[in-house]
Amino acid sequence: MKKIIAIGITLVVVAVVITLCLKSFKKDDKDNNLLDLLPESQKVETTIDTPLIIEEIRQLGRLETVEINLQQIFKGERNQDFLWGIAGEKIVFDAYASVVAGVDLSQITSEDIVIEGKNIKINLPSSEIFYVVMDESFSFVVSRQIGLLGSADPDLESQIRQEAQNYFKSQAQQMDILITAQTNAEAVIQDFLQKLGFEQVEFIADVEINIS
């Protein structure tokens, strides 16, 4: 009798286990069917707003992309033709300056940008020299000679400084500072736009039309 009861209990336990396994299998199978309905990889498409991109670029403002440091000695004089310069003045000035160039991105307009999906074409403004600044830590008057009847003229040094700035600007242009500034600007903007999500960045230039 005890043997029969034990067998019966065992059969009940086996039946319960089988039932639970079947329910679990059906639940898993249902879950799997739901997962099969989902795409393998969900891609999020980003809508790129052209006016927003233009504003982002314009906010970069005057992008300084190259700086050249130059040094030159300049000489200035006045009233040297009268009595061997007795009322004149001579100055030797050692000038150090930095010439900074870049691109003014605030000039960007909607006509300068073409967006095609994740690709963008952009026409950057032409590079320009922003300023020439004298380094007062190294620039100084080497010598100043004043005639017996002369006096120091502050305007003479100012004129030499202005001449120095013009000279340094001309020298920087001959050293292709504008080409370097444009190239560096393109590298900066390309990195900037790629971080915004663009895959391909192409720089274009205005087409010049000669009307004869």
Torsion angles phi and psi, residue 37, rounded to 5: -75, -20
Task: Express each pLDDT in 49-74 by its tens digit.
Answer: 778 888 888 898 999 999 999 999 99
Amino acid sitting at position 8:
G
Residue 162 in any domain: the answer is: yes
3-state helix, strand, coil in the chain (%, to 5): 45, 30, 30
Q: Please tell me whether residues 183 and 106 are part of one structural domain.
A: yes
Q: How confident is the model at residue 145 (pLDDT cuts 50, 70, 90)?
A: confident
Instruction: Name the burial class of residue 188, with classes exposed (0-12), middle (13-18) and buried (19+) by CB atoms within 10 angstroms of its CB.
Output: middle
Task: Give yes or no: residues 99 and 61 share one domain.
Answer: yes
**Domain range holding 169?**
50-203
39 and 57, same domain (yes or no):
no
Same domain, 20 and 120: no
In this structure, are 133 and 198 located in the same domain? yes
Q: What is the mean pLDDT of residues 145-150?
A: 68
Domain total of the chain: 2
Residue 22's pLDDT band (cuts 50, 70, 90): very low
pLDDT at 207 over 60: no
Q: Which region among 68-72, 77-81, 99-103, 140-144 has the lowest average model confidence (pLDDT)? A: 77-81
Selected residue with higher pLDDT from 145 and 104:
104
pLDDT category of residue 5 using cuts at 50, 70 and 90:
very low
Among 82-91, 155-164, 173-182, the range scoring the smallest mean pLDDT is 82-91
Asked whether residue 212 is assigned to any structural domain, the reply reads no
CA distance 202 to 190: 8
* Distance in angstroms (rounded) separating the CA atoms of residues 80 and 92: 15
